[in-house]
Amino acid sequence: MIDRLVIVESPAKANTIKKFLGAKTRVIASMGHIRDLPKSKLGIDIENNFEPQYINIRGKGNLIKDLKREAKNAKKVFLATDPDREGEAIAWHLAYILNIPESQKCRVTFNEITKSAVQEAIKHPRTVDKDLIDAQQARRALDRIVGYKISPVLWKKVRRGLSAGRVQSVAVKLIVDRENEIEKFVPEEYWNINAELLKKKNKDHFVAKFVGKDGKKQELHSKAEVDKILLDIENAKYIVDEVKEGQKKRNPAPPFTTSTMQQEASRKLSFTLKKTMSVAQTLYEGISISGRGSIGLITYMRTDSTRVSEVARHAAKEYITNKYGENYYENRYYKTKDDAQDAHEAIRPTYIELSPDDIKESLTKDQYKLYKLIYNRFIASQMSAAIYDTISANIKANNYIFKASGQSIKFKGFMTLYVEGQDNKEDEDISNIPKLEKNEELEKKKIEPKQSFTEPPSRFTEASLVKALEEKGIGRPSTYSPTITTILERRYIEKYQKQLVPTDLGKIVNNLLTENFPNVINVEFTATMENEFDYIADGKQSWKKVIADFYEPFQETVEKVEKELEHVELVEEVSDVPCEKCGRMMVIKYGRFGKFLACPGYPECKNTKQYVKVIDESCPKCGGKVQIRKTKRRRNYYICENNPSSCDYISWNKPKKGEKYTEGEKEEIEKEIKPKKTRKTKKK
């Protein structure tokens, strides 16, 4: 018989922990959850106070037998699953399977997999936290009820196999709403006037921008306004009216939370959310480091706290003062958001002495990149502010005011190591403005008016969607990645050059859900429920009461929608394309990959073909119809229906009369739409 059995989720974590606990301790993995709700039915007993109907996960029978055998052979069993609600739920299910009483202190948690943290946790076990489990059960039950009750509406009215989700559907709604904003956006004209000026003494030149007249700001919206100003200042003298010199500080960003890590990894490393979390998991659970064995390199990677332990803070101080000098260190504390779950620290390295370059040979390329990002971000968060010398000047030309401003870095501070959102760039340190004096006359080199148009809002990227979800209180650190992964896999959205674009299917599903379930598929409800889960986790709310309060009005809505839609058939849009097999006019259908044409005579006639959208404008070369098609990278292009038989018109832009396109544009489009030639290998 062994003294202790420690159960964790993964073999990698088990491998890292076992060396800390001695020969009489056995560490094994549960391989994640061992019990869950059944997939074939709702699994929530509505009539019995929403009691979940858990079953052992199929395929884990032998593992459960092994766990029971190992537990019988141990004097004590410790459940060391991850330190969050999901980990608590796994521990609770393990305790049930192994017949461990609720009163027994068997639960251990640690924020980092280090010898001291693991050994300290084993010394102070606690009972399984029922409040955390209830919060997890509430989320699971609510999501199951919403998904299983709403999805059948989609099956009947769109197509079978579709599914709705409480958080995922709101994420799709954000993306669809943004796309609608873009499509409705009307550009507005505006102008800038830039004056390139020189100091008369040394001919140093710089640019000043027009800001207004007689001390008042003035926006320019037409060429007529610009022409009048240019006429008024044609022979004007440019006199320095006011000069302000000063300093400004730039403070470092806090150490990573899950959200900020995902955003930075997307911006700087081009990692998807799923990849970021997968790589972070390996860094947390343990990497085999030459001369040290398997060790966890970062703290727990699912957190929304920026708190840092005093031990880590002291280690950072020693590292910074030794490497950069005392003036580069500043004792910093970061305030965590009011609604954050502060159970864990920020994401940081566990061993400050293990710099990324010291252990580079032991890491994969992706592990090294992410570890370096986490390491540098944490060290920089404890460093001094960067200091800039700033200068701004107001320059008068008659009664008109131009403004020039610039900055030069005086002390890099934390920027020596890391800058949020972008890596260090040389041009950040360069001032564009020479030393100026009040009443100094400047020489005009040239005046450049520039016409511009307002831009529509940008589409979401994975990083900006995570930021929006976090700001709106939708989801928690553990849900961002699976939410976005799910709606991509369901093809409600797709990626184009990092941008998230709703598919036709996504738009249809979103419209149906938001029109019929406006009280559920909305930002406010989803954010409110996250707060309810937090109250449950804090022991301030009963999870079954939360579900009961939600269920009755929700079920009434479901029944009402089903009744209203019972006799409503989806009106199939008839195209102007005849079926070449039977002559009927083909209709537009929606499939996994979007729109397609199908014969309405199904099942007698099963003809289908690609759907091609035609625009109002005629081909500028031959007068034929112009189609919108997509490249392999989902980018729109315009092509004549007679291409390539009698017309070669093809363009990235919507056609206009008399428009021409270059051969380069034609070649670029054709290159993107033609499949790559694969090289055939010779058989030996």
Question: 3-state class of 569 per DSSP?
Answer: coil
Nearest to 295 by CA among 118, 123, 84, 120: 118
Q: Hey, which residues does 629 pair with through a beta bridge?
A: 637
**DSSP letters of 369-393?**
HHHHHHHHHHHHHTBPPEEEEEEEE
Look-up of token digits 């039950």:
141
Query: Measured over all CA atoms, what is the biggest interatomic distance in the chain, rounded to whole angstroms?
Result: 98
**Do 165 and 146 touch, CB atoms closer than 8 A?**
yes
How many whole angstroms separate alpha carbon 266 and alpha carbon 463? Answer: 6
How many whole angstroms separate alpha carbon 328 and alpha carbon 246? Answer: 21
The token duo for 478 is 């553990």
Nearest to 579 by CA among 604, 605, 603: 605
**Do 403 and 395 touch, CB atoms closer than 8 A?**
yes
**Do 459 and 240 touch, CB atoms closer than 8 A?**
no
Element (H, E) at 508: helix 504-516
Burial 475-492 (b: 16+ CB within 10 A, else e): bbbbbbbbbbbbbbebbb
How many whole angstroms separate alpha carbon 474 and alpha carbon 524? Answer: 9
How many whole angstroms separate alpha carbon 23 and alpha carbon 4? Answer: 10
- The residue from 54, 238, 284, 300 that is catalytic is 300
The token duo for 153 is 């509406």
Q: How do beta strands 216-217 and 44-45 pair?
A: unpaired
> Is 300 one of the catalytic residues?
yes
Q: How do beta strands 613-618 and 608-610 pair?
A: unpaired
- Provide the annotated active-site residues: 300
